[in-house]
Structure 1
């Protein structure tokens, strides 16, 4: 890596009331390390290490919104109650004292929550149409008259996050969870105003954004994470073209989103190869909206997660996105994308599990001195 090029990523970015000291974020990664939903001192230490290691913006693991069917298991943190908010205040204080900023990711799993022994009736999984990613019948479909209350649950979580000292919130609208279940035609079969056209499928996610905006005020940043791929459906597409992507995102932007976070498994792959063989999904997102964009996907990895240099490519629907070895020049490709204006912030996941000081190593030009990503040791660092 050329040190001079890397230094371009160490400039601040201001969005509303948030100023990120550099262009690196920690990607959200679920840990299930908060008993009864309460983040403890270990959670504060975990995020604090990454902030002290140079990461400018910490995006937390998914945090359950205050809705009974929002998520499972109970060790996933939530954002409601005095003990919980005190725990998050310790997290935000630690990150701030370590020089970083922090956003809470607001999460409702929808039918992905599943059904588990001991569930109460109000914990039955909910979704747009009672259909899971595989097309099976699961849980129950949300009636339209429940949607305003559910949007308000997101708003309450966002207001609580702001009160606990978070600098921003990220709405999890990706990977086949609740809001993504509205967006994707395979899980949204509704015939009312919340289904059918892409604009109608975007309606409820936009209402969630609007409810959060009303709760947190005009300057508090709202990030929205979306994806084409779903859990175990790497071939999935919500938008089949740049035009459809613009239709998808425009209502979210109008409702109050400040930053978009298109989740991809490989940051360097083209979003719509037939339209442009080079431009990433992050680049397309920035092009059609003009908003700041967070890129993500295997950043800083020289090897695959799975042993042997290959990820499972048989999805039942063709080859997985970007299966195969990661190019050794992926960091240089990232810098090319930044220089081309494809993204404003880059989110790093597994590399930060392996080395909490990964960002500082980029700044210092010492990445080559580190042993690299190892799946087993990195997973251990989730805890």
Structure 2
């Protein structure tokens, strides 16, 4: 049996394999109301039809001001819950686990999409809004955020908990707290973006306070059966910034606070850094965090081939792998990988069985 296609159980949820789809931002809610559309149904549904074990939503905002762009999805109201329910029902019908990434973009909110004519922050005249962060320190090229007060920090923790409750109502099997890629939680973790002098700044314990409060609040909101993931960036790739040792320490604390599994990425908090791109370039970070913190992890980042993915899981570098761009290029990657690894699956869509490799 292939290690990649061995089922994995976390709390009450069993994943049919270790080939998972990460959060893939789509910036495609043209009405700007945070309600997922047919685009999201087809986009996410294709991965489930293609055999993925877990299908994660894009970074889904816990509040309107938490969106990366005005065209992001959200889960702060009942209309969004109803729309997500349609999507989770389809994912379940195809045998996939449905996950949602809960996010707040902080100082990287209210920005233009990558394909827009304009770049940087969206103006109020074009539907943008003032941003917030742990400190009044701007991300390069974006508007300067307003520093959150202690009471406002507590409010954001509550928004994550409320979003988690709505996620379960919408049929999601797990929730992931987005603490990576330079968004709000990562901004609190990194000393390069968090210059606070109160209980949320300074020492590692203080900078980690926000994410640990979110983990505890989300765990209380979803109960004991629902898995809670956390996505971390394991390094800022910058001198004096957040690093893999910090990540491992805080991952262990988050595990004690109720998180089950850790999705390890890198970067995103500081512009202009050099990232050593290459096949599986983030896998060593996942391996380090998993071994050092003694927690289960998955790896993501330029994983593009079945044999490569199999090797990562089989050698214990990670407990699962996430494929983003390769899954977008080939939503049926899991079915193809099974063929290449000599694994016979019992979850090919019946309507597609004529297309099976022989």
TM tier relative to shorter chain: 0.7 to 0.9
Please report the TM-score for the alignment, with normalisation by the length of structure 2: 0.82
1:281 aligns with 2:293: no
Separation in 2 of the partners of 1:52 and 1:290?
Answer: 33
Separation in 1 of the partners of 2:35 and 2:185?
Answer: 24
The correspondence for 2:61, drawn from 60, 64, 76, is: 64
The correspondence for 1:53, drawn from 34, 40, 50, is: 50
Query: Post-superposition shift, 1:41?
Result: 2.6
Q: Which consecutive unaligned segments of at least 5 residues does structure 1 have? A: 272-279, 301-329, 368-383
Q: Show the counterpart of 1:87.
A: 83
1:76 aligns with 2:76: no
1:26 aligns with 2:21: yes
The correspondence for 1:126, drawn from 126, 132, 137, is: 132
Separation in 1 of the partners of 2:48 and 2:200?
Answer: 40
Q: CA RMSD in A?
A: 2.5
Query: Post-superposition shift, 1:198?
Result: 1.4
Q: Show the counterpart of 1:101.
A: 97
Separation in 2 of the partners of 1:156 and 1:199?
Answer: 25
Query: Post-superposition shift, 1:120?
Result: 11
Q: Show the counterpart of 1:17.
A: 12
Separation in 1 of the partners of 2:127 and 2:337?
Answer: 50
Separation in 2 of the partners of 1:237 and 1:58?
Answer: 35
Q: Show the counterpart of 1:260.
A: 262
Q: Show the counterpart of 1:138.
A: 144
Pairs within 5 Å for 1:212-291: 212-229=218-235, 234-235=237-238, 238-240=241-243, 242=245, 244-264=246-266, 268-269=280-281, 280-291=284-295
Query: Post-superposition shift, 1:239?
Result: 4.5
| Superimposed CA distance per residue, residues 221-255 of structure 1 (whole angstroms, 9 cap, x where no aligned partner) | 1110011356xxx547754454x333222221222
| Superimposed CA distance per residue, residues 351-372 of structure 1 (whole angstroms, 9 cap, x where no aligned partner) | 11111101100001199xxxxx
Alignment CA distance shift 1:250-1:135 (3 Å): farther
Query: Post-superposition shift, 1:94?
Result: 0.6
Alignment CA distance shift 1:341-1:119 (3 Å): farther
Alignment CA distance shift 1:29-1:87 (3 Å): same
Separation in 2 of the partners of 1:210 and 1:157?
Answer: 14
Alignment CA distance shift 1:138-1:362 (3 Å): same
Query: Post-superposition shift, 1:25?
Result: 0.7
Q: Show the counterpart of 2:3.
A: 8
| Superimposed CA distance per residue, residues 274-312 of structure 1 (whole angstroms, 9 cap, x where no aligned partner) | xxxxxx111112112322211101111xxxxxxxxxxxx
Query: Post-superposition shift, 1:75?
Result: 1.9
Separation in 1 of the partners of 2:338 and 2:240?
Answer: 36
The count of corresponding residues between Structure 1 and Structure 2 is 320
Alignment CA distance shift 1:266-1:23 (3 Å): farther
